[in-house]
Chains A and B, each alone.
Chain A
Amino acid sequence: MKILIVGLGNPILSDDAIGLHVVRKINKYIQSSPLPKEHQIDIIEESANSLELVEKFLGYDKVVIVDSLKTNKLAVGEIAKLTPKSFEKANTRNVSNPHDVDFYSAIKVLKEIFGKDITGDITIYGIEVRNIHEFGEKLSPELIEKIDIYAKLIMEDIKKSVLK
């Protein structure tokens, strides 16, 4: 199986970078505890918008995204497991920027165009964050202390789904 793990976020926008930190940690775990060699894992860090992001899924069997989440309903540091379907009604069809289509529509339209080359197996891990309005390279303390746990949890989840 060809797996893509994407850390999504802006490295200089405080807690927005949490996804990048987590995938770096996942990368270390994979080095020390690799999946069986019939599985190929690629890990990338991205700040791309929906269409550009989804275009990167081409050719993968499974995609995992780790990103920050700001619902103000979860406690800072809580992690949510989502699928693209989660976004269907989440915010009508809005996006992180008016100059973009929303994530759900981007997947839907690229799947229509590229067929099975865009996988249906997409999981998003969203970590509730505090500060995404201020430029800076520091994460909130309650996120820093959990990076290791996020990485382990996500890897366990990936292994469970791949090795089942």
Chain B
Amino acid sequence: MGSKSETTKLQKELKMIEISPITRLEGEAKISIFLDDEGNVDDAYFQVIELRGFERFCVGRPVEELPRIVTRICGVCSWAHHMAGSKTIDEIYDVYPEGAARKIRELGYHAHIIHSHLAHFYALAGPDIFLGPDADPVMRNIFGLYQTFKDITKEAIITRIYAQKIQEMIGGTAVHPNCGVPGGVSAPLTKEKKAKIEEYSKAILEFTKKSVALFQDTIEKRKDLSELILGDVYYHKTYYMGLVDDKNKLQLYDGDVRVVSPDGKEVARFKGRDYLEYIAEHVEPWSYLKFPYLKFVGWKGLVDGENSGVYRVNTLARFNVSDGFTTPLAQEAYDALYEYIGEKPAHNTLAFNWARIIEALYASERIVELISDPEIMDKNVRPEVKEIVNHRGVGVVEAPRGTLYHDYIVNDEGLITKLNLVVSTVQNNPGMCMSIKKAAQKLIKNGEISEGILNRVEMAFRAYDPCLACATHSMIGRMPMEVTIYNSENKVVKTLRRTL
């Protein structure tokens, strides 16, 4: 290759187009808001295109490959899928990680939680929190945040890199880990890695401590933010679900699934493998996403309250189902959150963001604990595995966005015959739809729709940190979110392509 004539031939064969700027890329997620005759909100819908064929892709593949394949569902939640997949094959082979193996898995996973939560807290929710929901949209983004709060934004980015390096050291690669094997992990920790992880963990803990203090300080000083968190616009009384240990302390990697009612009573507690006895899925003709609900309460539509089976997962849900944390600093921050909110469960959707940064603090304390434990250096991390023991396995973890279930069925040869994944964003689909509708109804009046108002509607959605169509890493910036407003004659009156 390389001759002039060949290049010319190639160029004739395939024209390279130069387009700058791109004016439109395909959109796959949208919020549709319908107004009545008076210009008030009659209804609002959230829709997203779901990717197809993952189950078909997996059927017939050896089950031990699944923890690596499932990381490709999503570049954001890859660690959560890897851990859920690894726990599922633990059940299939009936061999469970102990000692160093379990600690190494937890270490990588808690680093992932930190990495994910810091991204949301600073880059996505941060501009609304620190610059305000009505700030100039040109500045209301990560770059604007950096311009206004240089030091803390820079530190957030660097701390995320530390968390990512820990994930990389444990998982093989940061984004798509491959360390989970039946009953353990593929390799023990080396002294060099331990030393680096100790250094990064301490720096991460210092930063998350500072972040929690910063948030608390901000809501003390900013009455507008306090009103948004505590007000009715972002308030829904629902059931909540999350993992807890035997003392009801919040857990991310393992535990019992606990469900509490809108008034905080425990209404279910079960092992992950029994999830189908508690969760069912409703289907709506206008949505690709399903609407999971609590079977024992029933589907009553997109409404909140004790008689509706709608439940929520994610950070604040985990707070509501638990009695706090096993680590001291996170526990202190947990108590401060409930003291401020004034009730438990807390039903304030915007407090998901607050709970998120407290959970990052917990994960930071946890990685310091784990790396300081001498047992983590034990070389015995990969037990001998012989044959399939169980033909069904279920793995459950708390993904950054909420409870995640993996359910695999295999044949005698260990090949997948069926699988079911219940992801956290789908479980929050009813909650997100309700939150968007309520915020739209409360904020849009007489057909007046400003950019700031639409941003406040989206804040209801953004608090859930949703992960949509998450395996699609086609062209960077490929999935714009569209907000379309229709009048009472179903004619489009406004369309905005929005920051999320």
Chain A interface (Cβ < 8 Å from any Cβ of B): 8-13, 15-16, 29, 33, 46-53, 55, 65, 67-74, 77-83, 85-106, 108-110, 112-113, 124-126, 129, 132-136, 146, 149-150, 152-153, 155-157, 159
- Residue from the list A15, A93, A157 in contact with B141, Cβ < 8 A: A93
Chain B residues with Cβ below 8 Å from A97 are: 74-76, 467-470, 479
Cα distance, A35 to B6, chains bound together (Å): 18
| Binding-face segment, B23-31, B183-191, B486-494 | B23-31
CB <8 Å contact, A47 and B123: no
- Residue from the list B17, B123, B401, B477 in contact with A80, Cβ < 8 A: B17
CB <8 Å contact, A153 and B16: yes
Contact with A along B200-238 (1 / 0, CB 8 A): 000000000000000000000000000000000000000
**Those 5 A-B pairs whose CB atoms lie nearest each other, nearest first:** A90-B22, A103-B476, A135-B57, A91-B480, A94-B480
User: Quick check: is B164 within 8 A (CB to CB) of the other chain?
Assistant: yes
Chain A residues with Cβ below 8 Å from B57 are: 12, 135-136
CB <8 Å contact, B17 and A81: yes
Q: Which residue of B has the minimal Cβ distance to A95?
A: B477
Chain A residues with Cβ below 8 Å from B164 are: 52, 55
Residue of B142, B174, B469 most packed against chain A (CB within 10 A) = B142
Given contacts A100-B119, A156-B2, contact A134 B473 (CB under 8 A): no
Cα distance, A150 to B13, chains bound together (Å): 10
User: Quick check: is B307 within 8 A (CB to CB) of the other chain?
Assistant: no
CB <8 Å contact, A10 and B72: yes
CB <8 Å contact, B120 and A99: yes
- Residue from the list A47, A96, A109 in contact with B478, Cβ < 8 A: A96
Contact with A along B115-138 (1 / 0, CB 8 A): 010011001100000000000000
Given contacts A9-B474, A12-B57, A49-B75, contact A89 B21 (CB under 8 A): yes
CB <8 Å contact, A70 and B142: no
CB <8 Å contact, B13 and A135: no
CB <8 Å contact, A92 and B17: no
Cα distance, A134 to B479, chains bound together (Å): 16
Q: Which residue of A has the minimal Cβ distance to B120?
A: A99
Number of residues on chain B facing chain A (CB within 8 A): 77
| Binding-face segment, B47-55, B365-373, B379-387, B410-418 | B47-55
Cα distance, A132 to B74, chains bound together (Å): 13
CB <8 Å contact, A133 and B476: no
Given contacts A135-B57, A153-B10, contact A70 B475 (CB under 8 A): yes
Q: Which residue of B has the minimal Cβ distance to A65?
A: B476
Given contacts A79-B16, A87-B477, contact A108 B119 (CB under 8 A): no
Given contacts A98-B500, A99-B465, contact A105 B175 (CB under 8 A): no
Chain A residues with Cβ below 8 Å from B75 are: 10, 47-49, 97
CB <8 Å contact, B497 and A9: no
Residue of A80, A113, A135, A155 most packed against chain B (CB within 10 A) = A135
Given contacts A94-B499, A98-B467, A109-B157, contact A16 B472 (CB under 8 A): yes
Measured between C-beta atoms, what is the minimum distance from B458 to chain A in Å? 9
CB <8 Å contact, B17 and A79: yes
Measured between C-beta atoms, what is the minimum distance from B142 to chain A in Å? 5
User: Quick check: is B428 within 8 A (CB to CB) of the other chain?
Assistant: no
Given contacts A8-B476, A10-B471, contact A149 B20 (CB under 8 A): no
Chain B residues with Cβ below 8 Å from A29 are: 1
CB <8 Å contact, A136 and B53: yes
A-B contact pairs, 11 of them (CB 8 A): A13-B51, A47-B175, A74-B17, A90-B21, A98-B481, A99-B466, A101-B123, A101-B124, A113-B153, A146-B14, A156-B7
Beyond the given A9-B474, A16-B471, A98-B462, please list 16 additional residue pairs across the A-B interface where CB-CB is below 8 A.
A48-B473, A53-B476, A68-B474, A68-B475, A79-B14, A91-B27, A101-B119, A102-B476, A106-B142, A108-B143, A113-B153, A113-B157, A129-B474, A133-B52, A135-B52, A156-B2
Cα distance, A149 to B9, chains bound together (Å): 10
Measured between C-beta atoms, what is the minimum distance from A102 to chain B in Å? 5
- Residue from the list B21, B119, B146 in contact with A99, Cβ < 8 A: B119
Measured between C-beta atoms, what is the minimum distance from A113 to chain B in Å? 5
Cα distance, A86 to B17, chains bound together (Å): 13
CB <8 Å contact, B116 and A99: yes
Chain A residues with Cβ below 8 Å from B476 are: 8, 50, 53, 65, 67, 87, 95-96, 102-103, 124
User: Quick check: is B389 within 8 A (CB to CB) of the other chain?
Assistant: no
Cα distance, A118 to B141, chains bound together (Å): 20
User: Quick check: is B282 within 8 A (CB to CB) of the other chain?
Assistant: no
- Residue from the list B11, B176, B471 in contact with A153, Cβ < 8 A: B11
CB <8 Å contact, B11 and A10: no
Cα distance, A13 to B73, chains bound together (Å): 9
- Residue from the list A85, A91, A108, A134 in contact with B25, Cβ < 8 A: A91
